[in-house]
Amino acid sequence: MGSPMEMNGGSVIAMTGKDCVAIASDLRLGQQAVGLSADFEKVFPINNQLYVGLPGFATDTYTLREHLRFRVNMYRMKEEREITPKTFAHLLSSTLYEKRFGPYFIEPVIAGIPAPSAIDPDPKPFICNMDTIGCITTPKDFVVAGTATDKLYGVAEGLWEPDLEPEDLFETISQTLLAAVDRDCISGWGAVVHVITKDKIITRHLKGRMD
């Protein structure tokens, strides 16, 4: 058995644009080098403006997704409003830190646009990532996670530019992900991309190399 982080494979990336964010994942799930499924999505909707990517150990992907669904539903009922990306990031962070000495083997990626409020009428797009025990990093440009992390950094560093429009951002994130996972044996097998804008979400499935 190898490390849990590399057992199932899979990668996630998120990027900011002009009044939009995009988040994408590959679709492979494997047991070491053997591919088992080509429709295992690692990015899940939290609400209309917020997505979370949970790459890493697949059993924890499922456990965390179910746990977060419960926590966010409870938040929605108690507060009678949707959770903001920043609050959700801290919710997830403390959920991960609760398991400090026996962590979930997941490196989450969060992407979303906060709804306009009285305090913040023109909110900025939000992206962040975390380590397995919930330490949050919030860069301006892009975040990556999963087994193709190093490749994703390289390609994203070369392709990303500030203030991309939604369609250009879609192209950038798609090319970045597809190029990076082709150099990773345990990521790939297709991809799914979500582009979040203020008024809608564009979800597209991409075909990729099947080797």
Partner 1 sequence: MTECSFGITGKDFVLLASDQSAGRSIIKMKSDENKIRQLSPSLCMAYGGEPGDTENFVDFVERNLRLYQIRHNIELAPAPASAYIRRILAEAIRSRRPYVVSLLLGGYDKIKDESHLYWMDPYGTKVKVPYTANGLGIYVALSTMDKYWYPDITREEAGQLLKRCIDEVKLRLAYQFSFNAVEIDKDGVREYKLDGSA
Q: Taking CB under 8 A as the criterion, which residues in 84-143 touch partner 1? A: 102
Distance CA 189, CA 210 (A): 5
Q: Which lies closer to partner 1 via its Cβ, residue 22 or residue 54? A: 54
Q: Which lies closer to partner 1 via its Cβ, residue 36 or residue 74? A: 36
State the minimum distance, in angstroms, from the CB of residue 59 to partner 1: 4
Helix residue spans in the chain (DSSP H): 58-79, 85-97, 149-159, 166-181
Residue whose tokens read 């830190």: 97
Gyration radius of the chain's alpha carbons: 16
Residue 182, classified by CB atoms within 10 Å of its CB into exposed (0-12), middle (13-18) or buried (19+), is middle
Site for partner 1 (CB under 8 A): which residue of 3, 34, 101, 162? 34
Backbone angles phi, psi at 23, to 5 degrees: -140, 140
Q: Which lies closer to partner 1 via its Cβ, residue 12 or residue 173? A: 12
Residue whose tokens read 């398991």: 99
Which 8-state DSSP code applies to residue 102?
S
Distance CA 50, CA 176 (A): 21
Q: With beta carbons less than 8 A apart as the criterion, state whether 139 and 175 touch.
A: no
Residue 2 binds partner 1, judged by CB under 8 A: no
Q: Taking CB under 8 A as the criterion, which residues in 3-32 touch partner 1? A: 4, 8, 29, 31
Backbone angles phi, psi at 11, to 5 degrees: -140, 150
Q: Taking CB under 8 A as the criterion, which residues in 55-74 touch partner 1? A: 57-59, 62-63
Q: Which lies closer to partner 1 via its Cβ, residue 170 or residue 189? A: 189
Distance CA 14, CA 40 (A): 18
State the minimum distance, in angstroms, from the CB of residue 181 to partner 1: 19
Q: Which lies closer to partner 1 via its Cβ, residue 62 or residue 157? A: 62
Site for partner 1 (CB under 8 A): which residue of 16, 17, 25, 40? 40
State the minimum distance, in angstroms, from the CB of residue 25 to partner 1: 15
Q: Which lies closer to partner 1 via its Cβ, residue 34 or residue 77? A: 34
Q: Which stretch binds partner 1 (CB under 8 A): 33-41, 122-130, 141-149, 184-192?
A: 33-41
Residues that bind partner 1 (CB under 8 A): 4, 8, 29, 31, 34, 36-37, 40, 57-59, 62-63, 102
